[in-house]
Amino acid sequence: MNILAWKNLLHDRVRLVVTLTGIVFALVLIAVQFGMFLGFLDTSANIVEHNAAELWISAPGIPHVNGGSPIAEAKRWKAMQVEGVEKAVSFTLFFLNWKLPNGAFESCQIAGFDLDSGLGAPWNVVAGSVEDLRGEDTVFVDELYKKKLGVSKVGDTLELNGKRARVVGFTRGIRSFTTAPYVFTSFKNAQTYMRLREDETIFILVKTKPGADVAAVKAGLQATVAGVEVFTHQEMLERTQAYWVFGTGAGTTTLMGAVLGLLVGIVVVAQTIYAATIDHLKEFGTLKAMGATNGQIYRVIILQAVLAAVMGYGLGITIALFVVNSTSDTDLLIKLPAEAAMGIFGLTLFMCMSASLLSIRKATTIDPAMVFRG
């Protein structure tokens, strides 16, 4: 009986094309929208994710990692007295103006980190050495934003918040969720660019001693250091993602897009599989007259749906991967990890099977006695 499902599906080429187009369209929509969502999660908090600090100390109530405000750097000494703290270093993240060669301004975010501990250092370095940031006026930028920031090679100099900045290295793929790219420099340099007072920082990053209980250290810091809030790595990550991805509607919009794709897919596939079932009513009736059970008819209908799903998935995921790859060197990250691709396969099967339910209902009502009528 399997052959009937397979050949019925292939017999009507036009319908097959319509079905596959529906599945592929839905799939690409789901994959790209969901991939954008994953990309947003990744991009929005990459600066936290790639930071090895277990605890972040900031001004109280900051909304996200990009929204810090100055605190006294002297609190670092207090923090270091807390049981379980191995290191407490300064880190800044702040929006600044970047002057382009043509005199126009772009916004960037200066990430100033402690060179000795390396907490908050850039990753994926493709040109230059992080050690070069020990020099005055030195910065790292990301290759993705070369054009936006008007730089092309190591040694280019520009103006950052009115002060000279020399590009000494590049990273690859450190995206920014906002339109302001990250520019890395030493904490000392950042203080100068930001015109912070000598005794001010934005964050104090804490590395705990091996085996220390992070929650206990956090409580200790919160009790010892006055006028600050202490976040774990995970808390800062989630707070930042929640702000950018859900607070801005970017997350909801992409997820809605994915759900919409699923609905469109179900409707298109349901419609074509239903039409195919109606067209084959006489054949199904003949099968029933000749002794096929309802279960056997359902199997044919469901198998048709599954075959359509497998074919549509093969095509759709190929196109989706193509779209994903084509974004790999743009500032919009679309992620499609293997787990997501597998999840989408499950979703495609679900989509096609639920689309065939209507047809199955129809098949139960087939009266085999119809076969003797004209």
Partner 1 sequence: MEALVTVENLVKTYGAGANEVQALCGVSMEVRAGEVLVMMGPSGSGKTTLISILGGILTATSGSVKIDGREIVGLPEKHLPALRKELFGFIFQGFNLFPALTAVENVSIMCQLKGVRNPRQRAAELLESVGLQEKLKSYPADLSGGQKQRVAIARALAGEPRIILADEPTAALDSVSGRTVLEIMSGLAREKNRAVVIVTHDPRVLDYCDRIVHIEDGRVGREEVHNQREKVA
Site residues for partner 1 per CB under 8 A: 1, 3-4, 7-8, 10-11, 282-283, 286-293, 296, 368-369, 371-374
Least distance CB 349 / partner 1 (angstroms):
23
Contacts of 355 (CB under 8 A, 6+ apart): 265, 266, 267, 269, 270, 273, 274, 305
Cα–Cα distance measured from residue 154 to residue 133, given in angstroms and rounded to the nearest whole number: 12
CB of 275 to partner 1, least distance (A): 15
* 3-state SS class at 369: helix
Q: Which is nearer to partner 1, 157 or 293 (CB)?
A: 293
Q: In this complex, which beta carbon is closest to partner 1, that of residue 125 or of residue 289? A: 289
Q: Which is nearer to partner 1, 103 or 374 (CB)?
A: 374
Query: Between 161 and 356, whose beta carbon lies closer to partner 1?
Result: 356
Give min distance, CB of 277 to partner 1, in A.
14
Q: What's the Cα-to-Cα distance from 161 to each of 98, 104, 180, 233, rounded to whole Å?
A: 6, 12, 14, 30
Half-sphere exposure for 94 (CA within 13 Å, toward CB): 26
Q: Least distance from C-beta 18 to partner 1, angstroms?
A: 17
Question: Reduced to 3 states, what is the DSSP secondary structure of residue 283?
Answer: helix
Q: Which amino acid is at 96?
A: L
- Given a contact cutoff of 8 angstroms between Cβ atoms, the answer to whether 112 and 91 are in contact is yes
| Smallest separation (angstroms) from partner 1 to the CB of 363 | 14
Least separation in angstroms between residue 281's CB and partner 1 is 11
- 363 contacts 303 by C-beta, under 8 angstroms: no
**How far apart, in whole angstroms, are the C-alpha atoms of residue 334 and residue 31?**
9
Nearer to partner 1, 3 or 104 (CB): 3
- DSSP label at residue 337: -
User: Which of 287, 344 has the CB closer to partner 1?
Assistant: 287
